[in-house]
């Protein structure tokens, strides 16, 4: 069966040509899919014979809301979507003055093993298809009634570990016949897969690359992020410099503030040394506590920010949204999995 929603209009056109259909049908089908139809029968301007053929050869992805949490503090909505195979992923809708931002997942689980993240507990189950990433935008809009203007790929999973599917998703969501969100309104976060960063740079996409740095030295970063053990901070920063030179796009460096681990004056000074002369800014993230982790939120976020700025490094503190719901990435999915395990007779895949 063909995952038809993962196809761009030219790919759809090639497929439909084999079926003896005119070229304009690809635009019709593409637009229907991006409106969130869940069956081919809803595509009322297609001939019935074509709809029947599509039913036989293709399927339409459409997630189901498994759980939904809405913050009473700021209106943030966290969705747990059930996919067609029973696995679940999270999406977060965040409301800002400049528009609505959706944080999407790109994998079921994650293999990167970062110590401060609930998404990696239990490892990676599988990659998401382009359609399954796109659905998080489409169905969040439909359910919430909020028009999405910005996307951050900072949910469950490492985007560059699912490279081809993520790139296809970016082209789908950017397409003018579909959701049509511009690349400059999309941020992609990576823990630092250097070969894939170089590969991304070659594509010249005008998105914002966010590098999860979280420590300025190898000893600390390797303890927090296993990916650093085979790379090292110096190689990562050299790769970031190449990325800027090729794309002209300033990089955002994510830095989760962890009490007694990476929030001291010494680390701030090392970070300044690391970033001096390099275009970019530091996004300081107040750590969301994860029950399974001994790591605690820092009490020195503002002091750290001031020390960076006093030495010429631009630093912002991420606004903490959804403080009264399961805000940390992966927490809602983790709780759902634990509850399912406690219920006898549940399908193990759920």
Q: How far is CA 86 from the centre of its chain?
A: 20
Q: How far apart are CA 76 and CA 94, in angstroms?
A: 5
Residue listed under structure tokens 């219920």: 343
Does the active-site annotation cover 90?
A: yes
Residue listed under structure tokens 């970033």: 275
Query: Which of 88, 191, 240, 329 does the annotation list as catalytic?
Result: 329
* CB contact at 8 A, 137 and 89: no
Q: What tokens were used for 332?
A: 């809602």
Q: What tokens were used for 48?
A: 């019935």
Q: How far apart are CA 174 and CA 24, in angstroms?
A: 20
Does the active-site annotation cover 329?
A: yes
Q: How far apart are CA 50 and CA 34, in angstroms?
A: 19
**Three-class SS state of 221:** helix
Phi/psi at 264 (5° precision): -85, 165
DSSP structural state of residue 289: P
Query: Which of 90, 132, 158, 254 does the annotation list as catalytic?
Result: 90
Cα 210 to Cα 162, 220, 236, 326, distances in angstroms: 16, 20, 13, 23
CB burial of residue 5 (10 Å; 0-12, 13-18, 19+): buried
Q: Quick count: other Cβ atoms within 10 Å of Cβ 137?
A: 22
* CB contact at 8 A, 170 and 213: no
| Active site positions, annotated | 90, 329
């Amino acid at each position: 069966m063909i995952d038809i929603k993962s196809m761009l209009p030219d790919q759809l056109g090639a497929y439909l040509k084999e079926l003896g259909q005119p070229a304009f049908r690809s635009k019709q089908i593409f637009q229907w899919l991006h409106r969130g139809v869940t069956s081919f029968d809803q595509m009322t301007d297609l001939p019935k014979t074509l709809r029947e053929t599509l039913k036989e050869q293709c399927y339409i992805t459409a997630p189901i809301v498994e759980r939904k949490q809405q913050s009473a503090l700021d209106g943030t909505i966290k969705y747990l979507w059930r996919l067609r195979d029973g696995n679940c992923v999270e999406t977060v809708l965040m409301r800002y003055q400049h528009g609505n931002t959706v944080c999407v997942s790109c994998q079921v689980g994650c293999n990167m093993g970062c110590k401060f993240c609930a998404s990696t507990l239990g490892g990676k189950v599988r990659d998401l298809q382009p359609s399954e990433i796109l659905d998080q935008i489409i169905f969040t809009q439909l359910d919430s009634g909020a028009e999405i203007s910005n996307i951050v790929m900072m949910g469950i999973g490492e985007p560059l570990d699912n490279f081809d599917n993520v790139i296809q998703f970016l082209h789908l969501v950017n397409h003018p016949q579909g959701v049509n969100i511009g690349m400059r309104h999309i941020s992609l976060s990576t823990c630092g897969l250097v070969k894939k960063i170089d590969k991304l740079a070659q594509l010249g996409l005008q998105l914002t690359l966010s590098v999860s740095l979280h420590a300025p030295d190898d000893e600390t970063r390797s303890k927090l992020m296993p990916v650093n053990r085979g790379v090292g901070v110096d190689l990562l920063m050299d790769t970031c410099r190449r990325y800027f030179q090729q794309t002209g796009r300033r990089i955002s460096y994510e830095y989760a503030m962890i009490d007694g681990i990476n929030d001291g004056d010494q680390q701030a000074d090392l970070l300044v040394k690391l970033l001096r002369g390099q275009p970019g800014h530091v996004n300081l993230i107040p750590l969301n506590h994860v029950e399974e982790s001994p790591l605690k939120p820092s009490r020195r976020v503002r002091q750290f920010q001031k020390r960076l700025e006093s030495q010429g490094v631009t630093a912002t503190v991420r606004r903490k949204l959804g403080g009264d719901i399961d805000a940390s990435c992966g927490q809602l999915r983790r709780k759902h999995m634990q509850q399912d395990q406690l219920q006898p007779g549940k399908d193990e895949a759920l």
